[in-house]
Amino acid sequence: MKSNRPGKIIGISLNYIVLSVVSLVMLVPFLWMLSTSLKEPAKIFVFPPELIPWPIRLENYTEVLSGTPFHLFYWNSLYIAVLVTVGTVFFASIAGYAFARIPFKGKNLVFLVLLSTMMIPNEVTSIPMFLFMRALGFINTHVPLIVLPIFGAGGIFGVFVMRQFFLGIPKELEEAAMIDGCSRWRIYWSIMLPLAKPAIATLTIFTFLTSWNDFYDPLIFLNDRELMTLPLALSLFTDEAGTAWHHLMSASVMATLPLLIVFFFAQKQFIEGVSMTGMKD
Amino acid sequence: MESNLNVPASAQRKAKPTRNPLGREANVAGWLFVSPMVLGFLALLLGPLLLAFYMSMTDWPLLGEPTFVGLENYQALFHDEEFWTVVGNTFTFAAGLVPMNIVLALGLALLLARKLPGIGIFRTAIFVPVMTSLIVWAIVWKYLFATDTGFINQILQLFGITGPAWLYNTKLAMPVVIVTSVLKNVGLNMVLFIAALQQVPAHLYEAARIDGAGRARQFFRITVPLISPTIFLTTLLTIIGSLKVFGQIYVMTQGGPDGSTKVLVYYIWEKAFKNFEFGYASALAFVLFFIIFVFTLLQWQYRKRWVFHEE
């Protein structure tokens, strides 16, 4: 039954060819972006395109950095994403722990209510939220961008991920600690949380990614250029008449790079985490 | 228990948690642990949701007082031609994107679930767009599809073909947005499929091979049934996601040309934050909510087969 070898070799080669073509299509935008970001403006539309531009024009990068408040966009994106991630992981993990392990009154009802609201599209609540934040004076500040994701659908998703994970940890560990007189907080902080590293890693990457790339909320809540996050700032570059593609592309490279670096190093854990939180039955 | 026989049953039940110090402690601790999340949820999700529902029944101008108008906004929707176009566009987007995404993701997962040398590179390449900002992705593709100077039309030029004005053509703009959106997110579904495929026991395939079943038969008789919960749920999640499409539309077409790519969320955003018709926009948002609600109910029915451990 071992199928004929030539057939198998053809099959595998076909496999590689198909994968190469698809991967190429996936990577063309990046290669194009990278290549354009290093080109002289006059050479951008030259055909056939030079994949490796010469001379390399690194000024595209320095011009973006000096010509726009790019360091501010970067900083805004970064600190918002970090705060959102830390907040989400913290609040979601304590709630997830309680839902998984503490038998308190009304737990199932509360959990069910949280669960059922995960489907509420952001766009529905963002309209009253805009008025609410305006009444509180938080329009054109970063407050909504930090607070809303932590307690919104992303936070609730985090509660599930963490609850899920804590349910899988053997009860004996905790019972021993309880007999020794550990408080719930101690148990959570010193025993359960360190065990939850894989779940935390997954939630961290997911949350960071979502926050870093968020577009809708910054579009609604921010007006001032200095307050903008990277995706919003980049989208405004294209609106201006006569887009400077070489600048836009170098800005895009800079906006994408940190995530690709994070992904490169966290890739194994992330893909496993996706499968773990998404798929175990 | 026996000594308590004279006490009414309701009092017994009430007394129970307080009598057990551990139970009471659990109530306090449990509520303390979930309170930040629950309070945040009430103030930032449930509250606004109820307010949004009220708003959808008002005429709420930018300046000035809202007036209650009942279901007028919803009635107005039915006579709003643009609303129907927008709903149609939203479904067109979903109908184009979902099958393409699922088929491509599953196909790639089948190719990538095998243990071949160098397979990690391909997995990464296909997953990289998932990590990219949607806005960056849309900007680059807008550029690649540019009319005269775009990469794609320059390639076509090599073959003597004058490429169309992709994003300025009412028939082509939507397909372009759909294809680029598929490429952006296919990697995520692919990873989920790889995970599902790896849980199919290998001995089933061996048994089938011994029985002389070919590749296609193995796929339809073993693979598809065993990963069907994943197929079902990724499909629903992709549908729900596609109904909320916004960013790529905002960057690539701004709803144009001639409204041919104007989708529901874009219309909501336009009504709410460009025209400041908060009441009408809220009614629109509730239509979106209702459509997503229907798909979420379906997903809920099948949740046990998928994400969450049930106690």
Q: What is the DSSP string of chain B?
A: -GGGTTS-HHHHHHHHHHHSHHHHHHHHHHHHHHHHHHHHHIIIIIHHHHHHHHHTTEE--SSS--EE-TTHHHHHHHH-HHHHHHHHHHHHHHHHHHHHHHHHHHHHHHHHSS--TTHHHHHHHHHHHHHS-HHHHHHHHHHHT-TTT-HHHHHHHHTT-----GGG-TTTHHHHHHHHHHHHHHHHHHHHHHHHHHTS-HHHHHHHHHTT--HHHHIIIIIHHHHHHHHHHHHHHHHHHHHT--HHHHHHTTT-STTTT--HHHHHHIIIIIS--HHHHHHHHHHHHHHHHHHHHHHHHTGGGTT----
- pLDDT for A138 equals 93
- pLDDT for B105 equals 94
- Pick the residue from chain B with its C-alpha nearest to A89: B37
Residues in B closer than 8 angstroms to A48, CB to CB, are 154, 158
Predicted confidence band of residue B282 (pLDDT cuts 50, 70, 90): very high
Overall average pLDDT of the A96-107 stretch: 89
- pLDDT for A181 equals 80
Residues in A closer than 8 angstroms to B274, CB to CB, are none
- A54 to chain B, closest Cα gap in Å: 19
Predicted confidence band of residue A239 (pLDDT cuts 50, 70, 90): low
- pLDDT for B5 equals 45
pLDDT at B29 over 50: yes
* Cβ-proximal residues to A123 (8 Å cutoff; 6+ apart), any chain: A216, B244, B246, B265, B268, B269, B285, B288
B225 vs A137, residue with greater confidence: A137
* Cβ-proximal residues to B259 (8 Å cutoff; 6+ apart), any chain: B82, B85, B86, B89
Overall average pLDDT of the B256-284 stretch: 91
> pLDDT digits over B159-200, tens only?
888 888 899 988 999 999 999 999 999 998 998 898 888 888
Query: Do the chains contact at B133 and A26, CB–CB below 8 Å?
Result: no
Query: Do the chains contact at A94 and B33, CB–CB below 8 Å?
Result: yes
What CA–CA distance (Å, rounded) separates B117 from B102? 25
- pLDDT for A278 equals 45
Question: What is the Cα Rg of chain B in Å?
Answer: 26
Overall average pLDDT of the B82-95 stretch: 95
B147-154 — which CB contacts under 8 Å span 24+ positions? B149/A44, B149/A45, B151/A28, B151/A32, B151/A49, B154/A47, B154/A48, B154/A49
Range scoring the smallest mean pLDDT among B18-27, B39-48, B72-81, B184-193: B18-27
Q: How far is CA A208 from CA A3, A86, A211, B269, B271, in A?
A: 47, 9, 5, 25, 30
Q: Which residue do the tokens 């079943």 mark?
A: B213
pLDDT at A177 over 80: yes
- pLDDT for B305 equals 55
Q: Is the dihedral of CA B52, B58, B61, B66 positive or negative?
A: negative
Query: Do the chains contact at B285 and A152, CB–CB below 8 Å?
Result: no
Select from B37, B188, B296 the Cβ nearest to the Cβ of A159.
Answer: B37
- A82 to chain B, closest Cα gap in Å: 17
**Beta strands, E only, A148-245:** none
Select from A104, A119, A164 the Cβ nearest to the Cβ of B309.
Answer: A164
What CA–CA distance (Å, rounded) separates B279 from B61? 8
pLDDT at A221 over 70: yes
Q: How far is CA B54 from CA A141, B81, B264, in A?
A: 26, 24, 20
- pLDDT for A267 equals 66
What CA–CA distance (Å, rounded) separates A269 from A267? 6
Select from A36, A168, A278 the Cβ nearest to the Cβ of B307.
Answer: A278
B10 vs A192, residue with greater confidence: A192
Angle at Cα B242 formed by Cα B236 and Cα B247, nearest 5°? 150
Which residue in B93, B83, B85, B46 sits closest to B277, CA to CA? B83
Q: What is the pTM of this model?
A: 0.85
Cβ(A37)–Cβ(A248) below 8 Å: no
Cβ(A218)–Cβ(A231) below 8 Å: yes
A240 vs B277, residue with greater confidence: B277
Cβ(A220)–Cβ(A138) below 8 Å: no
Cβ(B34)–Cβ(A156) below 8 Å: no
Overall average pLDDT of the A63-92 stretch: 91
- pLDDT for B200 equals 83
Predicted confidence band of residue B3 (pLDDT cuts 50, 70, 90): very low
- pLDDT for A69 equals 85
Residues in A closer than 8 angstroms to B143, CB to CB, are 32, 36, 245, 249
* Cβ-proximal residues to B70 (8 Å cutoff; 6+ apart), any chain: B57
What is the 3-state secondary structure of B56-85? CCEECCCCCCCEECCCHHHHHHHHCHHHHH
Select from B45, B129, B305 the Cβ nearest to the Cβ of A151.
Answer: B45
A269 vs A133, residue with greater confidence: A133
> pLDDT digits over A21-46, tens only?
999 888 888 888 888 888 877 777 66
Select from A105, A127, A271 the Cβ nearest to the Cβ of B282.
Answer: A127
Residues in A closer than 8 angstroms to B306, CB to CB, are 278-279, 281
- Pick the residue from chain B with its C-alpha nearest to A222: B273
- pLDDT for B304 equals 57
Overall average pLDDT of the A210-219 stretch: 91
Q: How far is CA A37 from CA B100, B153, B302, in A?
A: 31, 20, 47
- pLDDT for A201 equals 83
Query: Do the chains contact at B122 and A19, CB–CB below 8 Å?
Result: yes
Which residue in A123, A34, A259 sits closest to B283, CA to CA? A123
- pLDDT for A240 equals 52
* Cβ-proximal residues to B292 (8 Å cutoff; 6+ apart), any chain: A119, A121, B240, B243, B244
Residues in B closer than 8 angstroms to A18, CB to CB, are 111
Select from A1, A119, A234 the Cβ nearest to the Cβ of B136.
Answer: A234
Overall average pLDDT of the B122-142 stretch: 87
- B205 to chain A, closest Cα gap in Å: 12
A143 vs A7, residue with greater confidence: A143
Query: Do the chains contact at B133 and A212, CB–CB below 8 Å?
Result: yes
Omega of the bond leading into A48 within 30 degrees of 0 (cis): yes
- pLDDT for A237 equals 77
What CA–CA distance (Å, rounded) separates B277 from B58? 10
Residues in A closer than 8 angstroms to B298, CB to CB, are none
pLDDT at A124 over 90: no
- A59 to chain B, closest Cα gap in Å: 20
